[in-house]
Amino acid sequence: MAKKTTPQLDFNSSWNYAPAPEDTKHINLKKQYELFIDGKFVKPAKGKYFETINPANEEVLAKVAEADETDVNKAVKAARNAYNNVWSKMPAAERGKYIYRIARLMQERAREFAVIETLDGGKPIRESRDIDVPLAANHFFYYAGWADKLAYAFPNRKPQALGVAGQIIPWNFPLLMAAWKIAPALACGNTVVLKPAETTPLTALKLAEIIQESGLPNGVVNIVTGAGKTGAAIVNHPDIDKIAFTGSTDVGKIIQKSIAGTNKKLTLELGGKAAHIIFEDAPIDQAVEGIVNGIFFNQGHVCCAGSRLFVQEGVADMVIRKLKDRLETLIVGDPLDKNTDIGAINSKGQLETIHKYLKIGKEEGADMYQSNCSIPKKGYFCRPTLFLNTSQSHRIVQEEIFGPVLTIQTFRTVEEVIEKANNIPYGLSAGVWTDKGSKIFNLTTKLRAGVVWANTYNKFDPTSPFGGYKESGFGREGGMHGLSAYLKF
């Protein structure tokens, strides 16, 4: 008689979908991109270019101009000129019309933007198509509406533009971060010099094309490309009134030091190490999905990623079992495929950083669990990873990894989890899962985090302010708070 065995789910075969890649024929990518200064695409003074690659296959997508101090100076001059002679004199309602036009053009070309974002940054097309691009357009729509209503937003306070804003953005949400920065700055009457990250400059340059098409007066938005040196040239330029930076805490500290003693205003949105807290009374299946959404979709390339999980003891075994099962169903691979959950890590350097932390985690004595999925041989990919048996003092618990890596700890009481969640240099975001509204309100007041999501995670809306406590930075972006970062009273 045949031996009876317990049926086992073969995840690999049951979750094999036929490939569903997004078409790339409709996009228009040039071989070489110039700097966008004073409404025109111009060559860099020194004639230097760098390559931007597709992290999913390591192929070069385009050559991009490298701006030096001379180019930055030209961009700042153009922005100052546009501010003095055109933008500050224009009625606010007219400024609003241009911002609306940019939003509509972005919507019209949404598919192209989504594909280029995915090619240049490695994020799954589902994310760029359903989150990055629509949210970016929504930010322009939202702030366009405020342009002629600033007096209502700040009654009796006479809001005035600052002048020229220098804006430096990271590689994890290239188009969305550009929208977060440009839209409120313009609505408040400022002009802009923006620098995208060196590994993901393409959608900002496509945005420059839209800006040109929208007829926005020359010099109101200037986009210069390059790496840290170009960013530093913006930060140190004497004719800039405001610096808005999103990126690493290390660079944020350098920027803060550089502008100390000047009249520049500053907002910093820096790193994070969010606590994701699950109580015993939480809806467990939804919470598990929330955890997956919070750290694994988008490769953990989100400053507010829920990278530290705290589970109440009574449900810890169940949550961990369900998480492991769910991990096995996640598809890591071609970012252009609509079935892909976890795309490519943004760059070789970032993949090395993640591997360094995987090694540190093992050396610290934590138990590493990785999904058994296959990953492409070419390109930069990382399997979703859990670290069990971690403690507060572990570096993998304290430091930002910026990859699909989740540390797990258990807790017994509310006081204990608040203590542990706050015992960290960062304070950008947190998530709480429970059936009890009172517990949620208790935690939202005690967690030192700029955003606390309750029974959901990673939800964004242009009307909601976003920003951090402690080493996660200061200032808020989004909503009415986002306006005051670009105004003086």
What amino acid positions are annotated as catalytic residues? Answer: 269, 303
Taking CB under 6 A as the rule, which mask of x and - marks residues 146-185 in contact with ligand ADP? ----------------------xxxx--------------
Query: Which string of x and - marks every residue 254-293 that binds ligand ADP (by CB under 6 A)?
Result: xx--------------------------------------
Residues 213-232 touching ligand ADP, rule: CB under 6 A, are: 227-228, 231-232
- Identity of residue 457: Y
67 binds ligand ADP (CB under 6 A): no
Comparing CB distances to ligand ADP, the nearer of 177 and 418 is 177
Q: Do 340 and 306 form a contact (C-beta atoms < 8 A)? A: no
> Residues 124, 247, 333, 482: which binds ligand ADP (CB under 6 A)?
247
In the complex, what is the shortest distance from the CB of residue 51 to ligand ADP, in angstroms, rounded to a whole number? 15
Note the Cα 63 to chain centre separation in Å: 23
Determine the size of the site formed for ligand ADP (CB under 6 A). Answer: 17
**77: helix, strand or coil:** helix
Task: Please identify, using beta-carbon distances, which residue of 54 and 199 lies nearer to ligand ADP.
Answer: 199
- For ligand ADP, what does the binding mask look like between residues 12 and 51, x meaning CB under 6 A? ----------------------------------------
Tally the C-alpha atoms within 13 A of residue 284's C-alpha that lie toward its C-beta: 15
Identify which of 105, 86, 72 has the alpha carbon closest to the alpha carbon of residue 217: 86
User: How far is 324 from 371, CA to CA, in rounded Å?
Assistant: 8
Does residue 198 bind ligand ADP (CB under 6 A)?
yes
State which residue, 76 or 320, has the beta carbon closest to ligand ADP. Answer: 76
Q: What angle do CA 271, 362, 325 make, to 5 degrees?
A: 80
Instruction: Give me the least distance between CB of 207 and ligand ADP, in Å please.
Output: 15
Q: Is 388 exposed, middle or buried (0-12, 13-18, 19+ CB in 10 A)?
A: middle
248 binds ligand ADP per the rule CB under 6 A: yes
For ligand ADP, the closer of residues 145 and 228 by Cβ is 228
Smallest gap from Cβ 239 to ligand ADP, in A, equals 17
Shortest approach of ligand ADP to residue 251 CB, angstroms?
A: 3
Residues 245 and 168 sit within 8 Å (Cβ to Cβ): yes
Nearer to ligand ADP, 117 or 337 (CB): 117
Where would I find the beta strands (DSSP E) of 315-384? Answer: 367-370
Q: Which residue has the tokens 């467990």?
A: 284
Q: Which run of H or of E encompasses 487? A: strand 487-488
User: Which helix (DSSP H) or strand (DSSP E) does residue 98 occupy?
Assistant: helix 92-108
- 300 binds ligand ADP, rule: CB under 6 A: no
C-alpha distance across the termini of the chain, in Å:
86
> Rounded to an integer, what distance in angstroms lies between the CA atom of residue 182 and that of residue 191?
9
**Chain residue whose CB lies nearest ligand ADP:** 231
DSSP E strand boundaries for 119-249? 160-161, 164-168, 191-195, 221-223, 242-246
How near is the Cβ of 103 to ligand ADP at its closest, in Å?
Answer: 24
CB of 350 to ligand ADP, least distance (A): 8
CA 288 and chain centroid, separation: 22
Determine the interface stretch with ligand ADP among 28-36, 157-165, 245-253, 363-371 (rule: CB under 6 A).
Answer: 245-253
> Pick from 54, 203, 51: which is nearest to 120 by CA?
54
Residue 164, strand partner residues: 191
Residue 266 three-state SS: strand
Nearest distance from C-beta of residue 224 to ligand ADP, angstroms: 11
Q: Which of 195, 276, 308, 326 binds ligand ADP (CB under 6 A)?
A: 195
Residue from 105, 131, 176, 197 that binds ligand ADP (CB under 6 A)?
197
Contacting ligand ADP (CB under 6 A), which of 53, 147, 244, 251?
251
Give the sheet arrangement for strand 59-65, strand by strand. 32-33, 59-65, 49-54
Q: Which is nearer to ligand ADP, 228 or 425 (CB)?
A: 228
Of 83-102, binders to ligand ADP (CB under 6 A) are none
146 close to 153: Cβ distance less than 8 angstroms? yes
Stretch touching ligand ADP by CB under 6 A, among 146-154, 194-202, 419-427, 462-470: 194-202
Please return the burial class of 261, using the count of CB atoms within 10 Å of its CB with bins 0-12, 13-18 and 19+.
Answer: exposed
Nearest residue to 426 via CA among 305, 256, 317, 283: 305
- Is 187 or 234 the residue whose CB approaches ligand ADP more closely? 234
Site for ligand ADP in 129-148 (CB under 6 A): none
Q: In sequence order, what are the residues at sequence separation of 6 or more whose Cβ sits closer than 8 angstroms to the Cβ of residue 395?
A: 357, 360, 361, 364
Q: Which is nearer to ligand ADP, 233 or 292 (CB)?
A: 233
| Between 50 and 100, CB nearer to ligand ADP | 50
Residue ranges that bind ligand ADP, judged by CB under 6 A: 168-171, 195, 197-198, 227-228, 231-232, 235, 247-248, 251, 254-255
